Amino acid sequence: VDFPAVGVVGGGQLARMMAPAAIGLGVRLRVLAREATDSAAQVVPDVEVGDERDLDALRRFAKGCDVLTFDHEHVPTEHLRLLQAEGVVVRPGPDALVHAQDKSVMRARLTQLAVPCPRWAVVSGIDEIRGFGDDVGWPIVLKTPRGGYDGKGVRLVESAEDAASWLESLGPGASLLAEERVRFDRELAVLVARSPHGQAAVYPVVETVQVDGICREVLAPAAISEEHAVSAQSIALRIAEGLGVTGVFAVEMFDTAGGVVVNELAMRPHNSGHWTIEGARTSQFEQHLRAVLDLPLGETSMTAPHVAMSNVLGGEIADMYDGYLHCMAHDPGVHLHMYGKVVRPGRKVGHVTTVGEDAGDVRARARHAAAFLRGDSDGTAE
């Protein structure tokens, strides 16, 4: 009864998946959700419905929580600073969180920390875009600094003209983050947990496979050299320390011939860590709760030599229950996770995980299950 209460701002699938971890630990989980029908609001009894951009709603919610944490990063830092001043414990704190909210701020800070990044510049007009592209070579990548997800807000542009209409649609005075286009062999993610005490734990480096800007698959461990893996992990730990992150923290990276390069940061449990529910000794959701409560962290080693996670994206079929039955019957080793979300084409509505001895086998089985749920009836179309 005296165990602490963790308040999660946001009612998405990440908050939802913290619930079983909280039950196991015996801590109370509270959720601030926009709608009573949100993914986490369906399964967590202690829900407040409110908008996290409304300071009063946030303040009311925080009253019943020993620590405030997040399901997503889109919470105004000025609200969080006020709450902190009123004595609310916010983890990660606003000074760290801003680096996951604003990609331009993130690039500037990582450059200060001497973390390898693509060449970058903040640009605010067509001439600056042209200048940057001529300098680093075309094509370049342009990003809206704030509010992007699943590749929305990211464009590969071949020329300044190519960027013109987009820039115009953003309105006068808009600035963009321009990046050199990195030629990578694969995309990686490193998950770290860090507690207010400064204890840190790092998970094995994973490969993330993106299709049309959306994460499709995660493969653990990534098939990379020991040298690149160690370097990726130490970069992630260095950033967590440098930014004073508390909680679970994910660093997306590019693996290149010349070494690893950082793409972006997330300060919460992350899609690249869903595999840890069955695939690691401590899931990222339990680890996040431990970290924000300043408890000792759990073991991060894998439960099997190989783990694969496939996201279940919405397809044309709104009712996935038929495919769901098939998946269970076809392969009793597949772990299915559904988020209680309405199916819309391309929307992440669940994920599946397989663990085993063989990398190719676990990947094929996870893919098959995810494709089948989506409605690709032979389970092979990707």
Ligand X SMILES: Nc1ncnc2c1ncn2[C@@H]1O[C@H](COP(=O)(O)OP(=O)(O)OP(=O)(O)O)[C@@H](O)[C@H]1O
C-alpha span between 124 and 178 (Å, rounded): 10
Structure tokens at 127: 């001439």
Is the CB of 76 or the CB of 151 nearer to ligand X?
151
Please state whether 285 falls in left (phi above 0), alpha (psi between -120 and 50) or beta: alpha
Per CB under 6 A, the segment of 23-31, 151-159, 275-283, 295-303 that binds ligand X is 151-159
Shortest gap between Cβ of 266 and ligand X (angstroms)? 7
Considering only 102, 207, 252, 255, the residue that binds ligand X (CB under 6 A) is 252
Among 116, 148, 244, 333, binds ligand X (CB under 6 A): 148
Asked if residue 102 binds ligand X (CB under 6 A), the reply is no
Cβ closer to ligand X: 217 or 264?
Answer: 264
Instruction: Output the smallest distance, CB 252 to Mg ion, in A.
Output: 5
| 113, interface contact from ligand X, Mg ion, none, CB < 5-8 Å by kind | none
What tokens were used for 170?
């953003």
SS3 state at 335? strand
Site membership for ligand X, residue 73 (CB under 6 A): no
Our CB check for Mg ion shows the closer of 52 and 252 to be 252
Instruction: Please give the Cα distance from 82 to 69 (Å, whole number).
Output: 15
Over the window 169 to 188, marking each residue x when it contacts ligand X by CB under 6 A and - when it does not, the resulting string is ----------x-xx----x-
Contact 263, 191 (CB under 8 A): no
Polymer length in residues for the chain: 382
Residues 186-205 binding ligand X (CB under 6 A) are: 187
**Which spans of this chain sit near Mg ion (rule: CB under 5 A)?**
252
Taking CB under 6 A as the rule, does residue 154 contact ligand X? Answer: yes
118 binds ligand X (CB under 6 A): yes
Neighbours of 215 (CB within 10 A): 24
Q: Which is nearer to ligand X, 118 or 323 (CB)?
A: 118
Whether residue 204 is preceded by a cis peptide bond, meaning omega within 30 degrees of 0, is no
Q: Which two tokens stand for residue 85?
A: 């001043």
DSSP 231-269: HHHHHHHHHHHHHT--EEEEEEEEEETTEEEEEEEESS-
Binding site for ligand X (CB under 6 A): 118, 141, 143, 148-154, 179, 181-182, 187, 210, 213, 252, 263-264
